[in-house]
Amino acid sequence: MKSLSVKTFAYTLMACSMAWTVVLLTACAPVAQKTAADTVGTSSDNRAYHPVILISIDGFKPDYLNRGVTPRLNALAASGVRAEAMRPSFPSITFPNHYTLVTGLRPDHHGIVGNTMDDARIAGVRFKLSNSSAVLDRRWWDQAEPIWVTAEKNHVRSAIMFWPGSEAAIHGVRPSEYRPYNDKLSPADRVDTVLGWMDKPGASRPQFLTLYFDHVDHAGHEFGPDTAEVTAAVASADAAIARLTDGLRARQIDADLIIVSDHGMAATSPERIVQLDQIVNPLLTNVVTHGSYAGINPKEGQEEAVAKALLQAHEHMQCWKKENLPARFEYGQNPRVPRFICLAEVSWLVEPDAKAAAKAGKGGHGYDNVSKEMQALFIANGPSFRQATVLPPFDNVHVYPLIMKLIHVPALPSDGKLEAVEGALLP
Ligand code: AMP
Ligand code: ZN
Ligand code: ZN
């Protein structure tokens, strides 16, 4: 155990002098308070302890890195690994993609097919982000098993500083640590919670952690991606990442960081709306979800009439029966996917009526997952990762096998393949 610790400590110093030089010359000075043996441990089966921290900055478009306000993220990308882009899964919205990142499954396969869902087998309840009892109900999540559940089953401790699903006892298991979602908790407090978990003694210290920031997504919706408000939110996300990396450095913790987003953001406008009540009689439909795309169920006996209205050509929108969606979306088999999906052209919105149209924000996502506006962020930095490496674009399903390898827990069958991202890892 001792020799492993010393070796790991040496690695920390090496990483300090190499991977981090750009960022933190001063912070790399030896820290006197704690010895390496205090902080760099081994897991219960004697493997070197490199915690893995998966960080999501919701709605962070990779080109936000070019705004001149992200010195820490840019330094981590330059000295570690970055992807030219990471493709989200369809639909490019928050809950489906966060669950994909931690299961390696497409939304059709993990069951979180939307932020808003109906399921005939969970009668009388609509799953919505704002419905906290639904978010807690494992029946919505149980079609898949997220990393933290498999980790806990394998005696690897997990600590989840917000992540869709983390509040539910999925398959009866919860993370060792988690917090009920609270969008008012500041980025700094989220970081400090993670650092506090890192301060736990030996066996109770988590090995897999997540950290989630929502304020860049919120600013993107409210003001639009190309605004000073988004730039300010991006700068504050960078400051939070700096607080985290400084805190880790001060503790001599040599963590593998994977920094991602779930999707990008496109400018939208009340002037670019497709209004569904002008296309199909609203009395015939139940609109489950709307915005960048609409999910529509026909009322009893109205399938044919609804199909006739929706399946013709429309400006700025295309509709399909769920079974006829383009194969590349890998979407439409799950019973929770509504009967019809109507997808807007990027930067347009599909809204049920004038009232909903009037509430349209200035930014949105959920569009075709290959569109350039929807591409997501991927940066990795730490002792397991190569330096100064740029990966060609890859699908976000591959993040899962990468993390499972890093935490030494067997990956469950998924849509992800380690080979697709292995170029990120040191041989
Ligand atoms: P959307 O932009 O419509 O895909 O929804 C994203 C929003 O979901 C974020 O901006 C958060 O406010 C919210 N959100 C993120 N995580 C959670 C969670 N664990 N529980 C409830 N709401 C969440
Ligand atoms: Zn999101
Ligand atoms: Zn959003």
Q: Is the dihedral of CA 89, 95, 99, 102 positive or negative?
A: positive
Closest ligand to C-alpha of residue 221 is 3
pLDDT higher than threshold 60 for residue 125: yes
d(CA 241, ligand 2 centre) in Å: 18
Report which of residues 91 and 202 the model is more confident about.
Answer: 91
- Give 47's contacts (C-beta < 8 A, 6+ positions apart): 408
Query: What CA–CA distances, in Å, run from 85 to 264, 321, 371?
Result: 10, 30, 11
Q: pLDDT value at position 150?
A: 98
- Give 263's contacts (C-beta < 8 A, 6+ positions apart): 59, 88, 92, 93, 94, 97, 365, 366, 369, 374, 376
201-212 pLDDT per residue, tens: 988 999 999 999
Could you identify the atom of ligand 1 that is nearest to the CA of residue 95?
A: 4
Cross-strand bridge partners of residue 181: none
Nearest to 334 by CA among 105, 163, 6, 159: 105
Could you identify the atom of ligand 1 that is nearest to the CA of residue 291?
A: 3
Determine which residue's CA is closest to atom 2 belonging to ligand 1: 94
| Pairwise CA distance, residues 363 & 344, whole Å | 13
Q: pLDDT value at position 49?
A: 64
Could you identify the atom of ligand 1 that is nearest to the CA of residue 166?
A: 19
The pLDDT-based confidence of 30 (bands split at 50, 70, 90) is: very low
Determine which residue's CA is closest to atom 17 belonging to ligand 1: 164
Average pLDDT over residues 33-61: 65
Report which of residues 308 and 131 the model is more confident about.
Answer: 308
Q: pLDDT value at position 48?
A: 58
d(CA 82, ligand 3 centre) in Å: 23
- Quick one: how many helices (H) and strands (E) in the chain? 13, 18
| Domains recognised in the chain with CATH numbers | 6-34 (no CATH), 44-265+371-424 (3.40.720.10), 273-360 (3.30.1360.180)
pLDDT higher than threshold 50 for residue 79: yes
pLDDT higher than threshold 90 for residue 34: no
- Cβ atoms within 10 Å, residue 33: 9
Ligand 1 neighbourhood includes 181 CB (under 6 angstroms): yes
151-184 pLDDT per residue, tens: 999 999 999 999 999 999 999 999 999 999 999 9
Average pLDDT over residues 79-99: 98
**From 8, 12, 94, 285, active-site residue:** 94
For residue 393, say if its preceding peptide bond is cis, omega within 30 degrees of 0. Answer: no
Ligand 1 neighbourhood includes 162 CB (under 6 angstroms): yes
Cross-strand bridge partners of residue 258: 54, 380
Q: pLDDT value at position 427?
A: 95
> pLDDT above 70 covers what percent of the chain?
89
- Residue 398: strand, helix, or coil: helix
The pLDDT-based confidence of 3 (bands split at 50, 70, 90) is: very low
Closest ligand to C-alpha of residue 214 is 1
Ion ligand 3: residues, Cβ under 5 Å: 59, 217
Closest ligand to C-alpha of residue 127 is 1
Computed over every residue of the chain, the mean pLDDT equals: 90
pLDDT higher than threshold 80 for residue 21: no
pLDDT higher than threshold 50 for residue 291: yes
Determine which residue's CA is closest to atom 20 belonging to ligand 1: 181
| Pairwise CA distance, residues 44 & 313, whole Å | 60
pLDDT higher than threshold 50 for residue 44: no
Residue with tokens 């030896």: 30
Is residue 94 annotated as part of the catalytic site, yes or no? Answer: yes
393-418 pLDDT per residue, tens: 999 999 999 999 999 999 999 999 99
pLDDT higher than threshold 50 for residue 321: yes
243-286 pLDDT per residue, tens: 999 999 999 999 999 999 999 999 999 999 999 999 999 999 99
Q: Looking at the whole model, is its pTM more than 0.75? A: yes
Is 214 in contact with 222 (CB distance < 8 Å)? Answer: no
Q: pLDDT value at position 202?
A: 86
| Pairwise CA distance, residues 34 & 37, whole Å | 8
DSSP H helices in 251-381 = 303-310, 354-358
Is 100 in contact with 397 (CB distance < 8 Å)? Answer: yes
Ligand 1 neighbourhood includes 129 CB (under 6 angstroms): yes
333-376 pLDDT per residue, tens: 999 999 999 999 999 999 999 999 999 999 999 999 999 999 99
